[in-house]
Amino acid sequence: MLGKRDRRLRAQKSERKRRVYGRTKPGSLLKHPIPVKTDSWDVTSPGFSEIDLVAHCGNSGEGEFAHTLNLSDIHSGWTESRALLGKSQVAVQQALDEIEGVLPFRLLGVDSDNGSEFINWHLKRWCEQKQIQLTRGRPYKKDDNAQVEQKNWTHVRKLLGWERYDSTAVVEASNDLYRHELRLWMNLYLPSVKLVKKVRVGSKVRRVYDAAQTPLQRVLAGAQAKPERVAELKKLCPSLEPFQLGKLIDEKLQPIYDMANRRLSPKVTAENHAGEETQRGRRNGCGKAAATAGLRLHFQCLDDRTQGYIFKWLDTRRTSAKWPRARQNRSNVGRGGPYTGLPASCPAYSCLLLKFDCNESGAT
């Protein structure tokens, strides 16, 4: 039996229980024509992907502000991002069309949440014209889009933080970063591991992963790669240096931070005021108090492997003040390595070249 108070508060309780948190507004017009993706992803070739929007609204959801559209491939982990002002249906469809044109493989399927920016006739018509499968997850179930939710953190929040960006200039600056240095660094030089199986040992479950590979290596191993795009990436690989890309990313991030709307962004408290510069940089930050993590943190999947120790040692030597510049210059005149100034005869430099060798077979 409900009490008098419960009967009077029943309407308010039910309304608060259905409250929608976050910036996703459900779209209900096309829920029935667009099927729900209920089974788990079990794909062996690139092409099927998940998409999501990351809101850069700061502390206020009012007005128009920037969003980042993330597309993450399930098999290879290849991720593309585009910034847009607002989240209109036309803008999202145009950003997806641009991303589809630069992918090194054919886009076969797109899975989204139930937001109105994805559940609309513009995106459905575009997918039908491109012969792309369009599916959606269950309402209020973020785990249905677990892959892209992970990329929202590693590829967007670690870089741009929780500040509010609401100008056309910051959208253009973000797209300049997304289209060039960031996509190359994340997709060509950032390895990841994939879960192969789970083995139960008594009361514990042991997870077995495959060898760490970059998204490019997984794309090259598949049969869905576009030959012209793959040829461009192979031609570009020898001229790229991961540490130089990291430096360029830092340089492009600083103007983006400066254009943030500080009045509607999270305030800096007294305890983390001393680490404000850390929050703005990618070198030492980690967690919600920092915009990004350092280069060595992105290679944690290589711990206990030779390559992982090499990366950490190279990054430490690169930033260490105990490495005399004069000695560095003398030892590398005419024969130095392009990554950190190491001699070409150094075994660590040879292993680094081996790790980033983008040959035709895609093996490392």
Q: How confident is the model at residue 39 (pLDDT cuts 50, 70, 90)?
A: low
Q: Are residue 91 and residue 57 in the same domain, yes or no?
A: yes
E strands, the chain, are 48-56, 66-73, 79-85, 109-112, 133-136, 195-201, 204-209
Q: Are residue 273 and residue 315 in the same domain, yes or no?
A: no
CA–CA separation, 257 and 164 (whole Å): 10
Question: Which of 217, 76, 52 shows the shortest CA–CA distance to 150?
Answer: 52
- Cβ pair 164, 264 in contact under 8 A: yes
Q: Are residue 214 and residue 313 in the same domain, yes or no?
A: no
Q: What does DSSP assign to residue 31? A: T
Q: State the average pLDDT over residues 279-285.
A: 43
Q: Which two tokens stand for residue 341?
A: 């100034």
Q: Are residue 219 and residue 338 in the same domain, yes or no?
A: no
Q: State the average pLDDT over residues 179-188.
A: 94
Check which CATH number belongs to the domain holding 132 and give it. Answer: 3.30.420.10
Residue 18 lies in a domain: no
Q: Are residue 203 and residue 260 in the same domain, yes or no?
A: yes
Burial of residue 349 (number of CB atoms within 10 Å: 0-12, 13-18, 19+): buried
CA–CA separation, 329 and 343 (whole Å): 10
Kindly write down the DSSP assignment for every residue of 124-174, as one continuous string.
HHHHHHHT-EEEE--TT-GGGGHHHHHHIIIIIIHHHTT-B--SHHHHHHH
Question: Which of 132, 152, 133 shows the shortest CA–CA distance to 142?
Answer: 152
Question: Which of 215, 212, 282 shows the shortest CA–CA distance to 243?
Answer: 282
- Over its C-alpha atoms, the chain yields an Rg (Å, rounded) of 23
Q: Are residue 105 and residue 143 in the same domain, yes or no?
A: yes
Q: What is the average pLDDT score of the chain?
A: 77
Residue 96 lies in a domain: yes
Q: pLDDT of 201-225, one tens digit each?
A: 999 999 999 999 999 999 998 888 9
Residue 57, SS3 per DSSP: strand
Number of domains in the chain: 2
Residue 13 lies in a domain: no
The neighbour count for residue 28, using CB atoms within 10 Å, is 11
Residue 12 lies in a domain: no
Share of the chain above pLDDT 90, in %: 47
Q: Are residue 134 and residue 178 in the same domain, yes or no?
A: yes
Q: State the average pLDDT over residues 341-362.
A: 42
Of 56 and 349, which is predicted with more confidence? 56
Q: Are residue 264 and residue 363 in the same domain, yes or no?
A: no
Domain limits for position 203: 23-291
Residue 314 lies in a domain: yes
Q: Tell me, what amino acid is at 86? A: G
Last residue of a domain, one of 291, 324, 350: 291
Q: Are residue 114 and residue 227 in the same domain, yes or no?
A: yes
The neighbour count for residue 16, using CB atoms within 10 Å, is 9
Start-to-end CA span in the chain (Å): 69
Burial of residue 191 (number of CB atoms within 10 Å: 0-12, 13-18, 19+): buried
Residue 153 lies in a domain: yes
Helix H or strand E segment including 258: helix 242-258
**Does the pLDDT at position 104 exceed 70?**
yes
C-alpha triplet 302, 308, 314: angle, nearest 5°: 150
CA–CA separation, 2 and 4 (whole Å): 7
Question: Which of 292, 289, 222 shows the shortest CA–CA distance to 250?
Answer: 292
Q: Are residue 102 and residue 227 in the same domain, yes or no?
A: yes
Of 43 and 356, which is predicted with more confidence? 43
Residue 1 lies in a domain: no
Q: Are residue 141 and residue 247 in the same domain, yes or no?
A: yes
Residue 269 lies in a domain: yes
Last residue of a domain, one of 291, 323, 342: 291
Of 252 and 275, which is predicted with more confidence? 252
Question: Which of 83, 99, 100, 85 shows the shortest CA–CA distance to 177?
Answer: 83
Last residue of a domain, one of 291, 320, 344: 291
pLDDT computed for residue 308 by the predictor: 55
Q: Are residue 229 and residue 191 in the same domain, yes or no?
A: yes
Residue 335, SS3 per DSSP: coil
Say which range, 20-29, 146-155, 198-207, 284-293, has the weakest mean pLDDT.
284-293
